[in-house]
Amino acid sequence: MPGTEKYKYQLIIFYFIVFFIGGAMVNNHRPGRGVKRIVINAGHGGKDEGTSGSFAKEKDVALRIASKLGQFIRNKYRDEIEIQYTREDDRFVELNEIANHANKADADLFICIHCNANPNKEIFGSETYIMGLHKTKGNLDVAKRENASILLEDNYQKKYEGFDPSSEEATIIFSMYQNVFLERSLNFAAKVQENFKGFAKRSDRGVRQAGFLVLWKTKMPSVLIETGFLSNKEEEKFLASDKGQNQLAYSIFRAFREYKCEQEGKELTEAEKAEKMPSDWELSQDEQKNMIPVKTDEKLSVKEEKESNTELKTEVNTESLPKTEVSAEKANNNENKSGSEFAEYGIIFKVQLASTEKKLNTKKQFKDIVDIQEIVIETGYRYYAGKFKTMEEARKYQETLKEKGLKDIFVVAFQNGKRITTSEALEILKSKEKN
């Protein structure tokens, strides 16, 4: 009936107002708010020691890195950012309480610090997790259950103007929010990994997705950072050292600074762009020998990758990508041939569309994109679009692709075919211009 359809649309508008303006379920993460409050979680604690190496415990390393990160943010944004910690000492906090803390704080960003371990003691490197896309439906189910508490209230139909927490319309609204959170989480996670590789010179294991409960329960952009492997004796020394913790915490801070500027429509200062590693954080030659040979450009073998995390199968859920037609250009199966021959100083920018374990049928996944580049890596495939001489051109193209329905995409940079951080690329271009 027409009246019924009209009423359904009225309900959708009402839900939009309730959740987007009132923030009854998913906070006030609206355009323009920016980043005002963050919650930092040091993984484990108290009776829960987490993983351990030959001498270092995850709960201790995570707490030190989390504390240093908070101090770096406070030093820069003392009057702008409110920082809350889920623990500031050696105590045990239940997972539900960790997520509840972030939710009650109405945080704009949740950062969870951990250390990794693996039976294969040769594995090393840093990786950052966001909520697995396969958990998105579960997240919506949790939201439904929490909202169902209104059913216990007297006369709830009148007070909430017919709101049904189990309705399809409410699910639509929650789904919209989950997509927003996932995109922002991926954006921040990518910046963390870029800075681990470019600033701290750590081995980059990439951005991943998995169903961590602490991320599943949060209602804002959230990441879980595995700073390195305590099971690797060399990396354990780095993680347990004051210099190593400074480098990792400041790398996360740099990612946060970039993310905050981006969310608020600002630019980094020239000094921030030109920032170098403090000399007293640099590792001596002896320390470098004893703290792991950093291989930022080498990928783990497929065998090592499977051993390192058997629960993770793909970095991106390909079912979430638009299933449309495309005119595609297949790049050579080597990222070293990335089309930088036309660029100044070998620098080019691209938009990364997806990173998957399984090969995509690009003709069914993308539409009206004439420059799809497929790169084969040891752990699967990466898909890029465009080749630009400037960051500005790449960002404009990114926005165009978003308007076509592509989500969770971001700009990446190459120099002579080698993947570098966008900050490094901009710094190189600026320094060359001065010369």
> What is the reported pLDDT for 95?
79
User: Confidence band (pLDDT; 50, 70, 90) for 333?
Assistant: very low
Return phi, psi of residue 23, to 5°. Answer: 65, 30
Out of 99-103, 343-347, 428-432, the most confident range is 99-103
What DSSP letter does each residue of 18-37 carry, written as one string?
IIIII-TTTTT--TT----E
User: Confidence band (pLDDT; 50, 70, 90) for 174?
Assistant: very low
- pTM of whole model > 0.75? no
Q: What amino acid occupies position 257?
A: R
Q: Over range 127-152, report the average pLDDT.
A: 57
How confident is the prediction for the chain on average, in pLDDT?
Answer: 75
> What is the reported pLDDT for 316?
33
* Domains defined along the chain, listed by start: 2-313 (3.40.630.40), 314-435 (no CATH)
> What is the reported pLDDT for 158?
60
**What share of the chain has pLDDT > 70, as a percent?**
66
User: Confidence band (pLDDT; 50, 70, 90) for 162?
Assistant: low
User: Confidence band (pLDDT; 50, 70, 90) for 301?
Assistant: very low
Rounded Cα distance, 297 and 202, in Å: 10
DSSP lists the bridge partners of residue 83 as: 38
Q: Over range 31-56, report the average pLDDT.
A: 88
> What is the reported pLDDT for 180?
63
Residue 294 has pLDDT above 60, yes or no: no
Radius of gyration of the chain (CA): 22
Closest-CA residue to 217 (of 96, 40, 86, 43): 96
Residue 194 to residues 118, 354, 411: CA-CA distances in angstroms?
23, 16, 11
Residue 131 has pLDDT above 50, yes or no: yes
Residues in Cβ contact with 396 at an 8 Å cutoff, skipping those fewer than 6 apart? none
| Of residues 417 and 63, more confidently modeled | 63
Q: Would you call 270 helix, strand, or coil by DSSP? A: helix
> What is the reported pLDDT for 245?
96
Rounded Cα distance, 28 and 160, in Å: 20
Q: Would you call 269 helix, strand, or coil by DSSP? A: coil
DSSP lists the bridge partners of residue 131 as: 210
DSSP lists the bridge partners of residue 279 as: none
Copy the structure tokens of residue 9. Answer: 């649309």
Please give the span between the terminal C-alpha atoms of the chain, in angstroms, as a whole number: 71
> What is the reported pLDDT for 113?
96
- pLDDT tens-place string over residues 216-231: 778 899 999 999 999 9
**What share of the chain has pLDDT > 90, as a percent?**
30
| Of residues 338 and 169, more confidently modeled | 169
β-pairing, 126-131 with 204-210? parallel
Rounded Cα distance, 304 and 58, in Å: 22
Residue 178 has pLDDT above 80, yes or no: no
